[in-house]
Structure 1
Amino acid sequence: MRRILYTIGFSLVLGSSFSCTSSSSEDPLAALLTSPPVVSSVTPQIGTPAQNNTNAMYSATEVLIKGENFGVDTVVRFNEIVAAITLNLGTELYTKVPDGAYSGFITVSKSGGSCLPNTKTGVNCAGMEYFIDCYAATNKQYGSEIELKQGSSLSVEFDGQETKAFHTDTLLSSRNLTIGCESAVTVRVFDRSCKATDYVLQNDPIIPFPAGVATQFYITADSKTCSLVL
C-alpha cells in the first residue's frame, strides 16, 4: 500500500512540475504573438508628404512612433497608404510621410492583424490621429495663415507684391472661391496630399474647392485690397 501511495504522489508532483515548466515557456511567446501593438506617441503629429511643386520642393516629414509590442512583420499606414519603415527597434518605429497621405490616422499593425479603413482600430492594430499641413514645411514664410470660413468673405490688403497664406475650414459641400482684385493675382491651391495647382496672373479667378477638406492656398497680389468670397 505504501509503495502504491508513493508512486501516485510522485506522479502528481512530476506532472505538476511539467505543467508549470510548459506554461512558463509558452505564455510569453503566446502573449507576444497575440497581444496588439501599443502606440504611446507620434512625433511630430503634423507633417507633409514630399512636395515637388513648381518653385517649392520639401522633403517628406520624418516620423517617430513610440510604443511596444510592434513585432517584426510590422506595417505602418497613413490611412490606407502604406509607409516604408526605415528602422524598427521593437519599441520605436522610424518612417516618413508617404506620397498621397492626407489627414486622418497613422496606424501600426502586426503579423496577422489589420486596421479598419481610415480608423485606428482593428485586429492587432493601434494608432493616433495625424495631420497633413502643406504650409508648415515652409516655416510659415508668409506669416500666419488666414482662415476663410465657408459662406463668409474677407477683405485683404496686400502691400507691394506680397504673398499671403490662407486655409478654409472643413467644407461641408464643394464650393467656389471667388477672388476680386483690381490687379491680376497668382493663386496656388494645395490638395489634401499637398500637390499644388497654380493659377498664374488671373483676373478675378473663380476656383473650385472640394467638400470634406480644409483647403490651403496662397495668393500673390500687388498693392491692392482684394475680396475673397467662399
Structure 2
Amino acid sequence: MAALLTSPPVISSVTPQIGTPTQNNSNAFYTATEVIIKGENFGLEPVVRFNDTVATLSLNLGTELYTKVPDGTYSGYITVSKSGGSCLPNSKTGVNCSGMEFFVDCYSVTNKQYGPEIELKQGQGISVEYDGNETKAFRTDTLLSERNLTISCESVVTVRVFSRSCQATDYVLQNNPIIPFPSGVATQFYITAESATCSLVL
C-alpha cells in the first residue's frame, strides 16, 4: 500500500490522442472528445490536466481514468499527477507526474466533411478551384512568425478560422480578404467560394 502512495503514476496509453474541446460555432456544435487514460499508480484523487487546464474526471477505475477535453485546450500534453504531486508547466514531467502528448484537431471531429485538408506553408502560394458553391478545409504548418493569409478570388468568399482551442472566427462574404494568423501554431481554416479559382498566399 505504501508503494502505491509513493510511486509516481504511469500512463501507458491515451485514447484517442487527437481530439477537440467543445465547438459551439454559428452553424455547428461538436461536444468535447471523451478521453480514456490507461496506466497504473493513479491514486485515489488524481489530477488530470491538458497543459495547464484541469479536466473533470467522470470515472476513476484505478487503472483507467475517463475525462473530456476541457474548453481552452490546445495541442501539448495531457498529464496525471497524484495528491501532493505537480507537473511542470507545458511539460509531461514533474513530481509524482506522468504525461503524454495530446493533439487538438478542430477538423477531424467533422469526419472530414469537406475532404482532405489542404496544407498551406508559410511563404507559399497555392491556387484552388471551386466547382459550384463549395467549402474546402485547409491548415498551415506551424508558423514561425505572425503571417497574413491573402486570398484573391473571382467570387466573394466566406472564411472560418479556428483558434488553437477550436473557437471559430467567421469572415462572411468578403472580397479578397487579408486575415492575420498567429505565430507558433498551425492554424486550421475553411474557405467557401462560388465557382471560382482562388489564390492563397501566406
TM-score when normalising by structure 1:
0.87
Deviations 1:47-98 (A, max 9, x none): 0000000101000000000000000121000000000000001100000000
Partner of residue 54, structure 1: 26
Q: Which has the higher helix share?
A: 1
Greater RCO (CA < 8 Å, at least 6 residues apart): 2
1:84 to 51, 56, 61: 56
1:152 matches 2:152: no
1:127 to 96, 99, 102: 99
Distance 2:131 2:21 in 1: 31
1:188 matches 2:123: no
CA RMSD of aligned residues (A): 0.4
Instruction: Find the residue that maps to 2:128 and give its secondary structure.
Output: strand
1:72 to 30, 44, 63: 44
Letter of the 1:120 counterpart: K
Q: CA deviation at 1:33?
A: 1.3
Partner of residue 63, structure 1: 35
**Equivalent pairs, count:** 202
1:214 matches 2:186: yes
Letter of the 1:160 counterpart: G
Instruction: Find the residue that maps to 1:117 and give its secondary structure.
Output: coil
Letter of the 1:119 counterpart: S
Partner of residue 176, structure 1: 148
2:169 to 186, 197, 218: 197
Distance 2:123 2:95 in 1: 42
Distance 2:44 2:85 in 1: 12
Instruction: Find the residue that maps to 2:109 and give its secondary structure.
Output: helix
In structure 2, runs of 5+ residues without a counterpart are none
1:32 matches 2:4: yes
1:101 matches 2:77: no
Q: CA deviation at 1:30?
A: 2.2
**Runs of 4+ residues over 3 Å off in structure 1:** none
1:117 matches 2:89: yes
Distance 1:222 1:55 in 2: 19
